[in-house]
Amino acid sequence: MPSTPSNPQIPLRAVFMRGGTSRALFFRAEDLPESGPVRDSMILAAMGSPDPNKRQLDGMGAGTSSTSKIAIIAKSNRDDADIDYTFGQVSIDVPVISYKGNCGNISSAVGPYAVEEGLVAVSGDEASVHIHNTNTGKIIVARFALQNGLPKCEGDFALDGVAGTAAPIALSFLAPGGSSTGKTLPTGLAREMLETEGFGAIEASLVDVSNPIACVCATELGLTGRESPAELTDHPDMLARIETIRVAAAVQMGICSKQEAQSTVRNLPQIAIVSSPTDADPPSTNIVLRMISTGQAHAASPITGGMCLAATMCLPGSVAHGLARPNAQSDTPLTIAHPSGTLVLDAEIAGTDERDFTVHSVTVFRSARRLMQGEVLVPCF
């Protein structure tokens, strides 16, 4: 259906998918213009951004950072990958799409999408899709069950933050260190002082695994670490003050300039506010997390941020290592408690301090589902 004077909109083939605890519009790269202002304008219109009311009523977004995301998919020319996947974090109230960093939740939907679209040939009872994330240059391996040649949907895997159960998807992020900065420890330090405009000088661990985080102790911010997202949002000036931590950390980690952090790179690093588990938490809980991303308090842990926190817990001298409850056995998965439940991860790590700390891989289990398919209409550009 081409654009005409009587129908001044352009139809774009798209699939609306849930990946983990997020949702995104999926596009085929071949259906979009080359990267640049025109493509971004079309994507912004499809999502309903910018919306000064932060509701995205005129598009597919839902007014939250976890539901204002897009993925662009293409067959890969790399020998080590089946699919090229570009993630975009769409700002809600300003006309900005950030392509820095990745989203682990949306990554979980890429493999099933690729199989359903016929971009990857599969056979047997299980698929293994090698995904090249163009944002970070990293490889992700997605493994999931098949039923009649398509991703299996039904299963008994329960994901905190998502109603019901589904078939699990195992996501292994290979060599995830330095995804945005080129270094697992961008400053070479496990812990350092960070000068912020909102809190003054605070201790932080600046780590880049899958996505960079600035990890800070809740008590340094005058918090218990067990506040709900609503309480953090309603706390006078709290999110605005936390934003100054992100801006300072982005500069110190070498992600971008202060001006860029305040305008175009609004999603990195994520801010991990951590506290120690108590006797009220299950014995398996290693740490308690409240994550702030793109200026919003998350109801659950972002996957990439959770992966980075899991690695940080294993780094002696870091803020998270000092607060975490250790496992009795080193090969036991790590459990992060967040407002909607828990996130369990496996991390393969080598090294004992900041000089030789290496993250070989981090694996997490998610689920995903194709929600809607067809065309999204955008104005003619």
pTM of the entire structure? 0.83
Query: Pick from 83, 117, 86: which is nearest to 103 by CA?
Result: 86
136 within a domain of the structure (yes/no): yes
| Spatial separation of the C-alpha atoms in residues 338 and 61, rounded to whole Å | 24
Query: Pick from 206, 366, 357: which is nearest to 270 by CA?
Result: 206
Which token pair is 161? 């933050």
Task: Go through the chain and tell me how many residues it has.
Answer: 381
Residue 78's alpha-carbon distances to 28, 109, 113, 134, in angstroms, are 18, 20, 19, 11
| Spatial separation of the C-alpha atoms in residues 303 and 313, rounded to whole Å | 15
| Spatial separation of the C-alpha atoms in residues 139 and 322, rounded to whole Å | 30
Residues 59, 103: one domain? yes
Q: Which DSSP letter does residue 144 get? A: E
- What pLDDT was estimated at residue 177? 95
362 within a domain of the structure (yes/no): no
Amino acid at 334: L
Which token pair is 108? 């979980």
| Spatial separation of the C-alpha atoms in residues 224 and 198, rounded to whole Å | 18
Residues 221, 269: one domain? yes
**Hey, is 83 helix, strand or coil?**
strand
52 within a domain of the structure (yes/no): yes
Residues 53, 98: one domain? yes
187 within a domain of the structure (yes/no): no
What Rg value do the Cα atoms of the chain yield, rounded?
20
Contact indicator for 144, 112 with CB cutoff of 8 Å: yes
Residues 293, 204: one domain? yes
The CATH number for 106's domain is: 3.10.310.10
Enclosing domain of residue 352: 192-356
Residues 6+ apart with CB under 8 A from 65: 89, 92, 267, 293, 294, 295, 296, 298
Q: Is 330 exposed, middle or buried (0-12, 13-18, 19+ CB in 10 A)?
A: exposed
| Spatial separation of the C-alpha atoms in residues 83 and 169, rounded to whole Å | 17
Residues 137, 208: one domain? no
Query: Pick from 208, 73, 210: which is nearest to 131 by CA?
Result: 73
183 within a domain of the structure (yes/no): no
Amino acid at 7: N
- What pLDDT was estimated at residue 6? 64
217 within a domain of the structure (yes/no): yes
- What pLDDT was estimated at residue 330? 77
276 within a domain of the structure (yes/no): yes
68 within a domain of the structure (yes/no): yes
Residues 163, 230: one domain? no
Residues 253, 341: one domain? yes
Residues 228, 113: one domain? no
pLDDT in tens, the chain (381 residues): 555 566 689 999 999 999 999 999 999 999 999 999 999 999 999 999 999 999 999 999 999 999 999 999 999 999 999 999 999 999 999 999 999 889 999 999 999 999 999 999 999 999 999 999 999 999 999 999 999 999 999 999 999 889 999 999 999 999 999 999 999 999 999 999 999 999 999 999 999 999 999 999 999 999 999 999 999 999 999 999 999 999 999 999 999 999 999 998 988 999 999 999 999 999 999 999 999 998 999 998 888 999 999 999 999 999 999 999 999 887 789 999 999 999 999 999 999 889 999 999 999 999 999 999 999 999 987
Residues 295, 161: one domain? no
Taking each continuous run of H as one helix and of E as one strand, the counts in the chain are 7, 21
306 phi and psi, to 5 degrees? -65, -40
Residues 150, 228: one domain? no
Which token pair is 44? 């912004």
Residue 100's alpha-carbon distances to 11, 27, 134, 318, 356, in angstroms, are 27, 18, 10, 25, 26
Residues 150, 233: one domain? no
Residues 36, 169: one domain? yes
What is the domain count for the chain?
A: 2
E strands present in 180-264: 192-196, 200-209, 211-217
Query: Pick from 281, 161, 282: which is nearest to 229 by CA?
Result: 161
144 phi and psi, to 5 degrees? -155, 155
Residues 6+ apart with CB under 8 A from 52: 93
